[in-house]
Chain A
Amino acid sequence: MRASTRPLMFRILLIGPAALAICIFMVIPLMLMAWISIQGRDYSGGVIWGQFSFDAYTRLFFERELDGTIALNLSYFKIILRSIWLSALTMTISLIVGFPVALFMATRSQRWRAVLIFMVTLPFWTNLLVRNYAWILLLRDHGTINNTLLWLGVISEPLPLLHTQLAVAIGLTYSFMPFMVLPIYSSLEKIDFRLVEASFDLYASRWHTLKRVIFPLAVPGMVAGCILVFVPSLGSYVTPELLGGGKTLMIGNLIGLQFGAARNWPFGAALGLFLLLLVMIALTSYARSYRTNAQVGK
């Protein structure tokens, strides 16, 4: 074709810069991270290039004692399990709370929907740190919640709320809830409510209509929402740092530690890679379920 060379040139010139920037400062660093995870550790920070070592991976389960013997140590693994557990908990709470909200939004008039979408999205764009800090004010020993309960006489001693797994779960749910509500809403919004009327007409109660008509149609949105909540929860750093204190570390904090006080780059890199892997598994399983759904829908 005569005209085919010029568009190619345009394409390279226009797409090139963004592609190059992401390649150099995103893709290459991630590859470097994989490489560093199998390098020797330099105790003053950094790595000993060219010295191969799988210490970073064995360290997940074992610990080298001072005398050189290797012993099982599951404390790091526990952090990983805790991260998965807290993310799954966050995802479940978000789903249970988010679904009614999404259904409510979908049943409103066009005008109210716009307002409600705005109200759901708004907190996402405010500072994550600030939003978590607000929860510190509420959950502290002399925070709003404890003060209120004390004043009401429900309790006589402040409840230990801050620096618990509960606090982290609350914070994560608070941070990522819009990601659950919006996808569910967008699949509910497409539902023709005459389907619900048809279901009523065919003698289905509200409960059966919900179970047999609305839920199945909302599944794609719920799956998307679960992934969108689970992935950032798993990799969260700020929330466990602020609301979990030192006791409720998650993978993100463990990774961060390796580049601070612990000075263990290969281990940090290995953990980063592991987190990346978990995310990829979550995303591909989502892509697969999405495809299956699309086939069912045919």
Chain B
Amino acid sequence: MSLPGFKKPYKGDARHWPGLFIATGCFFAYVYLPIIILIILSFNENRTVTVWTGFSLDWYAMAFENRDIIRAATNSLIIASIASISATILATLAATRMATDKFKGKTAFNAMIALPITVPEIVPAVATLMFFASLGFTLGLGTVIIGHTIFCIPFAYLPIRARLEGMDPRMAEAAADLYANPIRAFYRVTLPQILPGILSGLILAFIISLDDFVTTFFLGGAGSTTLPIYIFGLVRTGVTPEVNAICSLMLLLSLVLVSLSLFLGREQSR
């Protein structure tokens, strides 16, 4: 296997276009260099943040000792777990019918379920804020979890529905033909086949919730500070090496989770 683009170019090759390799290289440098620099600087022992003086893990140690950070991380995990699980349950239930049934209003429902990803997040965030405030709800963990659940639904729903639609419709018929009633057919035949899709959807929803800033910012109150909110506060007041360390950790967590999810997605499509 040779590197892409490093094959000896032949002028008439329809798959070789001059300059594309360099353009793509620059693109990936643009995408990954800032992240890499951030991670490198998080190991810098110097306080000035952007000048490299030597290797140090001090900032990580400081981050782990900071009680505010621990509290924010705990909040993030609580919110992301509850929101992603509830969203996945709702999405799975809906997807099982949406993938197979034909009925009036199906397009409308599909558009509605996709609303949270079509509309810029700030709009539903402030709309829901006004909604909760008008009803007299106290903003806090509860309201944040509700907000997150709603925008997590499409992220969980789309991969599950895709998986269900990709399933041979005769699977369900074969199960029925072999004496499985609809409920047993679902548990024994449909569910095992879409389980990787569900897990992948669950993880994506979890990442999206974990990373969210806007909805949390507007629907949150005292005691619902999450990591992104905490980082935002720090970044606005000034750049500290501690922030580099937390940011690197968050990057790492997202990378691990998304790789896991994509791996599950790949497994199922085999």
* Residues of A that sit less than 8 Å from B by CB: 7, 10-11, 13-15, 17-19, 21-23, 25-30, 32-33, 36, 46, 97-98, 100-101, 103-105, 107-109, 111-112, 116, 118-123, 125-131, 133-138, 140, 142-144, 147, 174, 177, 193-194, 196-197, 200, 206, 210, 231-232, 234-238, 242, 252, 255-256, 258-259, 265, 268-269, 272, 275-276, 279, 283
Contact = CB atoms under 8 A, between A and B. Distances in A.
Contacts of A265: 130
Nearest to B257: A125
Contacts of A108: 4
Nearest to B35: A134
A233 B228 CA distance: 20
Contact of B218 (A97, A138, A259): A259
B232 interface: yes
Interface of B: 1, 4-5, 12, 14-21, 23-24, 27-28, 30-32, 34-35, 37-38, 41, 48-51, 90-91, 93-94, 96-98, 101, 103, 109, 112-113, 115-116, 118-124, 126-131, 133-134, 146-147, 149-150, 153, 157, 182, 204, 207, 210-211, 213-214, 217-218, 228, 231-232, 235-236, 239, 243-244, 247, 250-251, 254-255, 257-258, 262
A242 B235 contact: yes
Nearest to A11: B97
A258 B250 CA distance: 30
Nearest to B120: A235
Contacts of A11: 97, 101, 103
A264 B119 CA distance: 22
B14 A30 contact: no
22 contacts: A18-B91, A18-B93, A18-B153, A32-B131, A33-B127, A97-B23, A101-B20, A103-B20, A107-B20, A125-B255, A126-B258, A129-B213, A136-B235, A137-B50, A140-B50, A142-B48, A142-B50, A177-B31, A193-B15, A200-B12, A210-B17, A237-B213
